[in-house]
Each structure stands twice: as C-alpha cells, then as structure tokens.
Amino acid sequence: MVVGAIKDAVAKAIGHGARRVVVPGNFPIGCFPLYLSQSQPNDAAAYDEFHCLKGLNSFASYHNELLKQTVEGLKTNYPDVIIVYGDYYKAFMSIYQNAQSLGFDTKSLRKACCGTGGDHNFSLWRMCGAPDVPVCPNPDQHISWDGVHLT
C-alpha cells in the first residue's frame, strides 16, 4: 500500500508537469536511535556487525526492493520523464562503514546528539527540544541529530 501510494504520487507529479523525479528509498531504520531504544532484544543474533537491528533493516530493504521495481515500471510508463531511485539505504550504510574517516565519533554512531536517556541518548518522553534536554557539544561528529533525523 505504501509503495502504491508513492507510485500514485509520482504519477500525479508527472501529471502536473514534473519531468525529473527522484524517488527516495528508506534508510536502514534499524540503525536509528529511535528504534534501537524501543526494541532491545537480548539476542545478539538480532544485530548486524554495526549493532543495528537486522529485522528492521530487512523490512526497510524489502520496502526499497518493491520501490525499485515500481520505479522501473514508472520509467516504462513515462519514457520522456527522468525518474531516479534515491538509494538512501546504501548511502547511509556507506557513512557507517566509513564513519571514522568521515570524522564521526565511532562511539556515538547509534546515539542521538540532542536527547537524553539510555544507550542511545533517546527517550520518547524527553525528546530533543523539550526543556532540559541537552545537545552534544560536537554535532558534526554524530550521525543522528535527535534519534529520528540525521545531523
């Protein structure tokens, strides 16, 4: 249903005159502090080599595969329109794989810069922007700003 809604939105944009469209995929959500803090399985097998949740990343990958197929169909239906799949998943994982050389603090890859609470510096009850929720002194060294958004 979600991919179908995206397909319909792209078709509508093209119907309104768009001639270049980027269709972004999902990030590996299993690496985001929001999800890591909410789902903390005790099973080490639930995590990948980056300590991200495999199940959520598999779900994001599944969504992205369906989306890529849909983009290919849209290209066939609209040959005069440039339609590109934006691979956010692969781009994000490239940042994780090269975090140190990119200047990120490798001890804070799964921590929010702005937030409080637990191993991931994230709490649904005290989110970034709430009174007395601190901001890290080095946001340029964190991948996650608030546990949901990137810095």
How deeply is 81 buried, as exposed, middle or buried, from its count of CB atoms within 10 A (0-12, 13-18, 19+)?
middle
Break the chain into its structural domains and give their ranges: 2-97, 104-151
Burial code (b: 16+ CB inside 10 Å, e: under 16) for 29-51 equals: bbbbbbbbbeeeeeeeebbbeee
The pLDDT tens digits of the residues spanning 103-120 come to 999 999 999 999 998 899
Contact criterion met (CB below 8 Å) for 31 and 96? yes
SS3 content of the chain, % helix, strand, coil (to 5): 45, 10, 45
pLDDT bucket at 51, cuts 50 / 70 / 90: very high
The pLDDT tens digits of the residues spanning 109-151 come to 999 999 998 899 999 999 999 999 999 999 999 999 999 999 9
Residue of 92, 84, 85 whose CA lies nearest to 149: 92
